[in-house]
Amino acid sequence: MEAIFYIAAIVAVLATVLTVTRLNPVHALLYLTVSLLAVAVVFYTLGAPFMAALEVVIYAGAIMVLFVFVVMLLNLGRHTVDLERSWLSPGAFVGPAILAAILVGEVSYLLARSGTLTPPVAEVGPHQVALALYGPYLLGVELASFLLLGALVGAYHVGSRRAQGRTTVGSRSDRTGLASGGDLVRTGADRPSGAA
Amino acid sequence: MFALGLIGLLVRRNLLFILMAIEVMLNAAGLAFVSAGARWGQADGQVMFLFILTVAAAEVAVGLALLLRLYHRFHSLDVDAASEMRG
Amino acid sequence: MFHLLWLVPTIPFAGAALLMIFGPRMAHRTAAFMGCCSIGISAVISMLIAWQFLHQPPAGGGYTQHLWTWMSVANFHLGISFYLDALSLIFMLVVTFVSFFIHVYSSEYMRGDEGFSRFFAYMNLFVASMIVLVLGSNLLLLYLGWEGVGACSYLLIGFWYTDPKNGLAAQKAFITTRVGDTAMAVGLYLLFQQLGTLNIQSLMQAAQHQWPQGSIYATAAGLLLLGGACGKSAQLPLQTWLPDAMAGPTPTSALIHAATMVTAGVYLIARTHVLFALSPTAQLAVAVVGAATLIAAGFAALVQDDIKRILAYSTVSQIGYMFLGLGVGAWTAAIFHFMTHAFFKALLFLASGMVITSMHHEQNIFKMGGLRKELPLAYWAFVIGGCSLAGLPLVTAGFYSKGLILWGALSSPVGSATLWFFGVIGVLMTSLYTFRLIFITFHGPCHHKPSQKTGWLMGVPVIVLMTLSVVGGFVELPSYLGNHPWFTNFLQSALPATAEGHAALSELGAEGIVVLAFFLGLGAAWFFFLQRRELSESMAESGLGRALHRWWYTDWGMDWLYDRLFVRPVGWFSRANKKDAVDLIYTGTAAVTRSGWSSLRLTETGRVRWYATALVVGTVIFVLIVALL
């Protein structure tokens, strides 16, 4: 059991290093996914199976999908197909595949030996987590829901600006509408530079 | 892992990578919480991880929306290119 | 009738308010009617109250009308309440009646002036404030009226505000009286702090019970109140504003700067006479101030050439007599002189207003002359008023009142022969400058033909005041003339009688010397200014004469002295301190902040990674500090 923990941890660190050092975003995303999956395994070995499931579903699933969506959104155009091809070249799959294979091996080993392995630490199951969550942390749950709502509205607002026709996707040469201000990153330019 | 994420944040200029680095950092923090919770056999660590998960989801949604805006404005994901502020 | 007391100040106040709001849209006739009527009604009510006061005097000699509570903080309670006794009744009557006649006079005098309704609004407001001053049952209400009349005085001196000179005169009056008012305010604090009340009646009782004779507190309070009185009543050393105050319209000079407001100081001292009776020092100070002022102002009046300035200095001098009377404990005599002075001085000012109107606003007496035939009413008004002012024996009011004061100065235990002697010199001076004024203005060769004739609206008040200037004295006949001290008896309930000490002379003998002084002055004036005019001119031309002339003309150089003592040092200091040393602290703070800002703004690069690095470094340093400590 401890061996599984250490192997998963090494995989996680390795994948993270590779994530940070990749130049290609799609490659980095692949490594990041692997890293998250490794962390999920670590969670399981630490006696938190519920968290491990959440890690896989939300992090490796939902959040990574968002990233992939955005990467795809940014690259609409004639080069897209070529870019896709170059990104998804078989060579790029090697590294993540190896790391993922290690994880699969671990998981299958765990499944095969299920019930016989004793975790090194006491397992804290979803039951206890739910009791704590809706007991002393009720206020935190409410706040988290507010945060999600705010993020939803904020992301919609920020992302839907282009619906107002101020900039168009892919029009690389058109920068005439830029000086109109109001964007978050441009607000600084409105300040008089010689304010001293 | 936290340190790795931090380095990623500081070193990379691509906004997408910065966001990923932030995800890594959050994940590292969550890992620390869960480990601590496991060490003491308490559910609190996992509760904290849940909150971190929520924060990460919210952050990534807003962050990616901002990224899209930035890209449409500057046609690049270089955060230093977005620096027009003259202090 | 007493319950109508609150109407006496309220009606003029309402008149003032209406005139201020609707005045600019009113016809002049309406404004004048309203202005005069409000004072007239007020005067009638005063008379009704006086009638009842004479027939059914209120218990204890005073009637208090409590209207509402003004303020109530901890153990400090003040009401808007009026106190009526013999003293305030006399003042109220004189103020309302003289004001009424002056209002009637002004309705013609001010005709055609563009500020016509404004003038009446100010005058009504003045009367209301003056009555509040007189009737106020506590010293704070009195102070309210005191400041109210001061403000009206300021407004009316600067009435023709388009001329900057008038504005300056108004400011001078306001600032100079403010000096005295500050002293008075300090006096009020002292009284409240020591005795715990500001209600005049309880204050006087408390002072009598708590302070021994000659108490230091009584002296301090008395001197501080005297300071306030000096400012308001233009006594030495704060008298310099009154001659300049003649910049206002003549009816204003008559009402405010001769008959009523300037005597507020006299009222204040008479009202708080208990304090002065407790402190011989303060009382002596009052007497000395009065005696010094009456002499100084007499000499200054002798060399003026502006008809109104002469009268202004004579006012200062006559109030000096009142202060002398108060200072020697001849309380009723001072009040008596206040009353007669209000009559004859208002008369003189109104008559001078007639002269000035006829002469196209010429005020220099040396450019007049021979007006006796042209302006008979003004001439007779001047003769009667002047005789009353100088004290023509037996037939004029001024003779009786001034005689009473001088007799008090000689005979009272507080008085002395020196004070009396100064008073007699003052009589000589008074008669000298009064008849100089009359002889130069109305006799001799005629320089300018007067043009305008004055109407009955100006004539009637003058005639009424002429009558009062004569008969006003008969309410108090001295012992050698049948001894009918009605006036003193009337005031007995409010003011103590003049204490009789032993005197070096009999009353008749002393009176004889006063009469002698009067005739000496009259004769000298007749000789120098009518018979041998060139003699007085050659005297004025000689070296010593010219120096004295200049010195007295500038009121003993007081303005010059104050200019050097106060105005210039303050001006110099403010110029030297143009950059404002204190301000350096604030500009320095601003400069430091600014430099901090300009160095901090260097960190505002707009580079996200730079921010993130700074965040990390800051966190690491913080964690290190926490860990190390």
Give the CA distances from residue C486 to residues C324, C344, C414, C555, in Å, rounded to whole numbers and listed in that order.
22, 20, 24, 38
Answer yes or no: is A174 within a domain: no
Q: What is the CATH number of the domain that holds A90?
A: 1.20.120.1200
Q: Residue C625: is its pLDDT beyond 90?
A: yes
d(C-alpha A112, C-alpha A49), whole Å: 16
Q: How confident is the model at residue C44 (pLDDT cuts 50, 70, 90)?
A: very high
Say how many domains are in chain A: 2
Whole-number pLDDT of residue B36: 85
Same domain, A20 and A55: yes
Same domain, A68 and A88: yes
Contacts of A124 in chain B (CB under 8 A): 37-38, 41-43, 45-46
Same domain, A6 and A85: yes
Same domain, A28 and A113: yes
Answer yes or no: is A178 within a domain: no
Average pLDDT for C371-400: 84
Among A72-81, C202-211, C323-332, C448-457, whose mean pLDDT is lowest? A72-81
Residue type at A125 in one-letter notation:
G
Q: Do C606 and B9 touch (CB under 8 A)?
A: no
* Degrees, nearest 5: CA angle C59-C60-C64: 75
DSSP letters spanning C24-93: GGS-HHHHHHHHHHHHHHHHHHHHHHHHHHHHSPPGGGEEEEEEEEEEEETTEEEEEEEEEEHHHHHHHH
Mutate to test the interface with B, among C597, C600, C609, C611 (most CBs of B within 10 A): C609
Whole-number pLDDT of residue A185: 41
Average pLDDT for C64-85: 84
Contacts of B85 in chain A (CB under 8 A): 188-189, 191
Same domain, A138 and A56: no
Q: Residue A181: is its pLDDT beyond 60?
A: no
Shortest alpha-carbon distance between residue C596 and chain A (Å): 12
Whole-number pLDDT of residue A190: 40
Answer yes or no: is A138 within a domain: yes
- The sign of the dihedral angle between the CA atoms of C422, C428, C431, C435 is negative
User: Which of B13, B18, B87 faces C605 most closely, judged by CB atoms?
Assistant: B87
The chain-wide mean pLDDT, for chain A, equals: 72
Q: How confident is the model at residue B26 (pLDDT cuts 50, 70, 90)?
A: confident
Average pLDDT for C207-235: 87
User: Which of B18, B84, B87 faces C603 most closely, judged by CB atoms?
Assistant: B87
Average pLDDT for C442-452: 73
Q: What is the 3-state secondary structure (H, E, C) of C235-266?
A: CCCCCCHHHHHHHCCHHHHHHHHHHCHHHHHH
Same domain, A112 and A143: no
Contact C260, C95 (CB under 8 A): yes
Tokens 């009584």, located at residue = C218
Q: How confident is the model at residue C538 (pLDDT cuts 50, 70, 90)?
A: confident
Residue of A nearest to B36 (CA): A46
Among C107-116, C379-388, C585-594, whose mean pLDDT is lowest? C107-116
Same domain, A136 and A117: no
Burial of A101 (0-12, 13-18, 19+ CB in 10 A): exposed
Dihedral pair phi/psi, residue C138, rounded to 5°: -125, 160
Whole-number pLDDT of residue B84: 60
Contact C12, C131 (CB under 8 A): yes
**Do the bridges between strand C76-85 and strand C476-477 make them parallel or antiparallel, or are there none, so unpaired?**
unpaired
User: Which of C605, C612, C616 faces B85 most closely, judged by CB atoms?
Assistant: C605
Answer yes or no: is A195 within a domain: no
Whole-number pLDDT of residue B83: 62
Using only C-alpha atoms, chain B has a radius of gyration, in whole angstroms, of: 16
3-state secondary structure of B14: strand
Shortest alpha-carbon distance between residue B9 and chain A (Å): 9
Contacts of C606 in chain A (CB under 8 A): 188
Same domain, A99 and A18: yes
Read off the DSSP letter of residue A57. Answer: I
Q: Residue B50: is its pLDDT beyond 80?
A: yes
> Is the overall model pTM greater than 0.95, yes or no?
no
Contact C171, C165 (CB under 8 A): no
Q: Do C616 and B87 touch (CB under 8 A)?
A: no
Determine which helix (DSSP H) or strand (DSSP E) holds C515, and give its type and residue range: helix C507-526
Residue type at C134 in one-letter notation:
V
Q: Residue C282: is its pLDDT beyond 70?
A: yes
d(C-alpha A147, C-alpha C176), whole Å: 70
Answer yes or no: is A21 within a domain: yes
Question: Nearest CA to C326 among C318, C317, C337, C334?
Answer: C334
Q: Do C606 and A196 touch (CB under 8 A)?
A: no
Contacts of A29 in chain B (CB under 8 A): 20
d(C-alpha C189, C-alpha C274), whole Å: 17
Q: How confident is the model at residue C623 (pLDDT cuts 50, 70, 90)?
A: very high
d(C-alpha C28, C-alpha C113), whole Å: 9
Average pLDDT for C242-248: 84
Percent of chain C with pLDDT over 70: 98
Same domain, A2 and A27: yes
Residue ending a domain, choose from A95, A123, A151: A123
d(C-alpha C539, C-alpha C158), whole Å: 37
Q: Do C604 and B87 touch (CB under 8 A)?
A: yes
Contacts of C598 in chain A (CB under 8 A): 196
CB pairs under 8 A between A and B: 175
- Chains near B, with 3+ CB pairs < 8 A? A, C
* Degrees, nearest 5: CA angle C563-C565-C568: 55
Q: Do C607 and B80 touch (CB under 8 A)?
A: yes
pLDDT in tens, C154-213: 998 888 888 888 888 888 889 888 888 999 999 999 988 888 888 888 888 888 888 888
d(C-alpha C144, C-alpha C164), whole Å: 28
Q: Residue C624: is its pLDDT beyond 90?
A: yes
Contacts of B24 in chain A (CB under 8 A): 16, 19-20, 32, 35
Average pLDDT for C268-281: 87
The verdict on A139 touching C (C-beta cutoff 8 Å) is no
CB atoms within 10 A of CB A64: 19
ipTM score of the complex?
Answer: 0.80
Q: Residue A194: is its pLDDT beyond 60?
A: no
pLDDT in tens, C487-507: 777 777 777 777 676 666 777
Contacts of A196 in chain C (CB under 8 A): 598, 601
Residue of C nearest to A195 (CA): C598
Instruction: Quickly list H helices, C476-506.
Output: 486-491
Question: Nearest CA to B13 among B83, B63, B73?
Answer: B83
d(C-alpha C19, C-alpha C337), whole Å: 34
Q: Residue A87: is its pLDDT beyond 70?
A: no
The chain-wide mean pLDDT, for chain C, equals: 85
Average pLDDT for A47-55: 84
Answer yes or no: is A184 within a domain: no
Residue of A nearest to B59 (CA): A151
Mutate to test the interface with B, among C601, C602, C603, C607 (most CBs of B within 10 A): C607
Q: Do B85 and C613 touch (CB under 8 A)?
A: no
Note down the domain range covering A151.
125-162
Shortest alpha-carbon distance between residue A113 and chain B (Å): 22
Q: Residue A189: is its pLDDT beyond 60?
A: no
Q: How confident is the model at residue A192 (pLDDT cuts 50, 70, 90)?
A: very low
Same domain, A117 and A130: no
Average pLDDT for B8-36: 80
Contacts of B18 in chain C (CB under 8 A): 608-609
Q: Residue C552: is its pLDDT beyond 90?
A: no
Q: Residue C621: is its pLDDT beyond 90?
A: yes
Whole-number pLDDT of residue A184: 40
pLDDT in tens, C284-324: 888 988 888 888 888 888 888 888 888 889 998 999 999 99
Same domain, A102 and A32: yes
Answer yes or no: is A169 within a domain: no
The verdict on B39 touching C (C-beta cutoff 8 Å) is no
Q: Do A59 and B56 touch (CB under 8 A)?
A: yes
d(C-alpha B20, C-alpha B11), whole Å: 12
d(C-alpha C293, C-alpha C288), whole Å: 8
Percent of chain C with pLDDT over 90: 10
Give the CA distances from residue C448 to residues A41, C360, C364, C371, in Å, rounded to whole numbers and listed in that order.
123, 10, 12, 9
Answer yes or no: is A94 within a domain: yes
Among A182-191, B17-26, C269-278, whose mean pLDDT is lowest? A182-191
The verdict on A196 touching C (C-beta cutoff 8 Å) is yes
The verdict on B32 touching C (C-beta cutoff 8 Å) is no
The verdict on B18 touching C (C-beta cutoff 8 Å) is yes
Q: Residue A178: is its pLDDT beyond 60?
A: no
Residue of B nearest to A30 (CA): B20
Same domain, A35 and A91: yes
d(C-alpha C108, C-alpha C462), whole Å: 13
